[in-house]
Amino acid sequence: MPGPVGSVGVVGAGAVGQTVAATLVSSGICHRLLVVSRTVEQAAALAADLDDMRQTTGSPVHPEARRAADLIGCRAVVVAVRATFANTRSSDVRMGGAAANAPVVRSLATALGGYQGTVLVVTNPVDLMTRLFAETSGCPRVYGIGSNLDSARYRLTLGQLLDVPATAVHGHVIGEHGDGAVVCASSTTVNGTPAVIPLAEVRAELRTRPGRISAGVGRTRSGPAGAVLSTLRKSLGLVDGTEELTCEHRGDWLGIPLRFTAGQPVACLPALDAGEDAQLAATVTKLRGAYQALRRPAPSSTRLETT
């Protein structure tokens, strides 16, 4: 695998941003990690903590506290911002942050207008926030982290249900990172062979797993951080492989499999049966409508949460 890249930026010093940053320091993926947060003091505090990690682990990654404008020279930027708001939804939970997070993402995208590197958006609802960042900034390589985490959970869950290693499962979850996720059961194979998928059990686990994690530790963080690292390795050309990411596809933005070769992506959607195709069409319509609603600006806090 090629050596570390020059610099990567992480925006956001909350639970997810901290975990992403720590994961990148431990991975040795870059020489410099530029940390941006709501205040310089927060960024400096996280950079100092990460520097302790660098020293104790012997990592080659040097963390630095910076401002958003300093990220223009980075090979990649990870967007893990979150506005301060109370999410009271019991269904479509990730959509609960749309109105609050949109102004924060829009402001950051404006600050990074014309950036030519790779942007990975983690902020939920990730399918909407990815499109918002891309269309506001004009950046050509913007991807959302979500469907690859869903796909990893799908393979893990199916492996447990069928008593096989997760690595034996080849299958995807596409569409929305949320209630509109489409499990591509008809094209899933186990040990290279088509399998009968217990869809009801799979969907129940995919629906409840994030909530159980959040209830126990406050917020999912390690899974998203791992998905970010895996995507960075592929999008920066360090390894070849496939990630399910939110991106533009035929005029809409949704999670689809992208095959990266030397850092360049090609869409590689699996064949869908009639039911899956109908589910995906409904998800596309849902995401399109939700995004149009976001384009009507409404007063909202742009204060970032840091806990």
- Please tell me the number of Cα atoms within 13 Å of 271 on its side-chain side: 4
Binding residues: 12-17, 89, 94, 101, 122-124, 153
Q: Would residue 62 show up in a list of annotated catalytic residues for this protein?
A: no
- Please tell me the number of Cα atoms within 13 Å of 132 on its side-chain side: 29
Binding residues for substrate: 89, 94, 124, 153
DSSP states of 56-73: HHT-S-EEEE--GGGGGG
- Residue 77, SS3 per DSSP: strand
HEC profile for 94-135? HHHHHHHHHHHHHHHHHHCCCCCCEEEECCCCHHHHHHHHHH
- Residue 199, SS3 per DSSP: helix
**Residue 82 in tokens:** 């979150």
- Please tell me the number of Cα atoms within 13 Å of 73 on its side-chain side: 8
* Residues across the chain: 307
What's the CA gap between 221 and 20, in Å, rounded?
8
Least Cα distance to 177 among 113, 89, 270, 247 occurs for 247
Return the CA Rg of the chain: 19
Rounded to the nearest angstrom, the gap between the alpha carbon of residue 40 and the centroid of all alpha carbons in its chain is 25
Binding residues for NAD(+): 12-17, 101, 122-124
Kindly report the number of other CB atoms within 10 A of residue 64's CB atom: 16
Catalytic residue among 31, 172, 177, 249: 177
What's the CA gap between 184 and 204, in Å, rounded?
15
What is the set of active-site residues? 177
